[in-house]
Chain A
Amino acid sequence: MQSANVNRLTPYLFLAPAAIIMAVALLYPIGYMIYASFLDWNPSQRIGEAEFVGLRNYINLLSDASFRESFWVTLKFAAIVVSLEMFLGVGLALLLDRNIRGMSLLRTLFILPMMIAPIVVGLMWRYMYHPTVGIFNRTLKSMGLDPVPWLSDGNWAFASVVIADVWQWTPFIFILSLAALQSLPQSAMEASRIDGATGWQQVIYIKLPLMLPVLIVTLLLRLIDAFKVLEVILVLTNGGPGLSTEILSLRISRTASEFRELGEAAAMSNYLLILLMILTFGMFFYNKAMEVRAARLRKAAEEDL
Chain B
Amino acid sequence: MSAKTYDRQNPAFYALLVALVVMSVGPIAMMLMTSLKLNVDIMSDTSSLIFMPTLRNYETALCDFLWYEAPHIDYCDKTFGRALVNSLIIALVSTVLTLVIGCMAAYALVRFRFMGRDSVSLATLAMRMVPPAVLLVPVFGIWTFQFQIDGTRAGIILVYVAMNLPFVIWILQSFIVQVPIQLEEAARMDGAGPFQVFFLVVLPLIKPGLAAAAIFTFRVAWNEFLLANALADRNSRTVPVTIVNSMTEFDIDWGVIMATGMLLAIPPIIFTFVASRQIITGMTAGAVKG
Contacts and interface: CB of A to CB of B under 8 A. Distances in A.
B169 A18 contact: yes
A110 interface: yes
B269 A111 contact: no
10 contacts: A15-B105, A36-B137, A99-B7, A120-B261, A124-B30, A127-B30, A127-B34, A133-B254, A227-B131, A269-B136
Given A115-B219, A115-B271, A252-B136, A15 B109 contact: yes
Interface residues of B, number: 93
A217 interface: yes
B53 interface: no
A217 B290 CA distance: 9
A231 B21 contact: no
B226 A218 contact: no
Contact of A224 (B104, B128, B271, B276): B128
B20 A92 contact: yes
A117 to B, nearest CB: 4
A87 interface: no
A228 B236 CA distance: 25
Contact of B162 (A21, A111, A235): A21
A15 B113 CA distance: 12
Interface in A27-65: 28-30, 32-33, 36, 43, 46-47
Interface residues of A, number: 93
Interface in B1-52: 4-7, 9, 13, 16-17, 20-21, 23-25, 27-28, 30-31, 34, 42-43, 48
B284 interface: yes
A217 B289 CA distance: 11
Interface of B: 4-7, 9, 13, 16-17, 20-21, 23-25, 27-28, 30-31, 34, 42-43, 48, 101-102, 104-105, 107-109, 111-112, 114, 125-142, 144-145, 158-159, 161-163, 165-166, 169, 193-194, 198, 219, 222-223, 225-226, 230, 240, 243-244, 247, 254, 257-258, 261, 264-265, 268-269, 271-273, 276-277, 279-280, 283-284, 286-288, 290
B225 A119 contact: yes
Nearest to B134: A269
Of A14, A19, A175, chain B has the most CB atoms within 10 Å of the CB of A14
A146 to B, nearest CB: 17
A47 B24 contact: no
Interface stretch (A5-13, A154-162, A194-202, A297-305): A5-13
B21 A29 contact: no
Contacts of A17: 101, 104-105
A262 B138 CA distance: 9
B223 A118 contact: yes
A231 B159 contact: no
B30 A108 contact: no
A170 B169 CA distance: 27
Contacts, number: 267
A107 interface: yes
Contacts of B127: 26
B28 A249 contact: no
Given A15-B105, A26-B162, A176-B287, A115 B269 contact: yes
A214 to B, nearest CB: 6
Nearest to B198: A14
A33 to B, nearest CB: 4
B131 A272 contact: yes
Chief secondary structure at chain B's binding surface: helix
Nearest to A182: B288
B6 A101 contact: yes
Given A117-B223, A176-B284, A217-B287, A15 B114 contact: yes
A133 B20 CA distance: 24
A224 to B, nearest CB: 5
B163 A26 contact: yes
Interface in A221-241: 221, 224, 227-228, 230-231, 234-235
A256 interface: yes
A100 B6 contact: yes
B163 A133 contact: no
A123 B243 contact: yes
Nearest to B289: A183
A124 B101 contact: no
Contact of A119 (B133, B141, B223): B223
B27 A124 contact: yes
A183 B281 CA distance: 13
A224 B132 CA distance: 12
B269 A116 contact: yes
A231 B261 contact: no
B287 A214 contact: yes
Nearest to B16: A95
B229 to A, nearest CB: 8
Given A107-B276, A110-B20, 9 more contacts: A15-B105, A21-B158, A25-B159, A96-B17, A99-B7, A256-B140, A265-B137, A269-B136, A276-B129
A262 B140 CA distance: 10
A207 interface: no
A14 B141 contact: no
Contact of B135 (A29, A47, A111, A235): A29
Contacts of A28: 138, 142
Contacts of B230: 256-257
Nearest to A213: B290
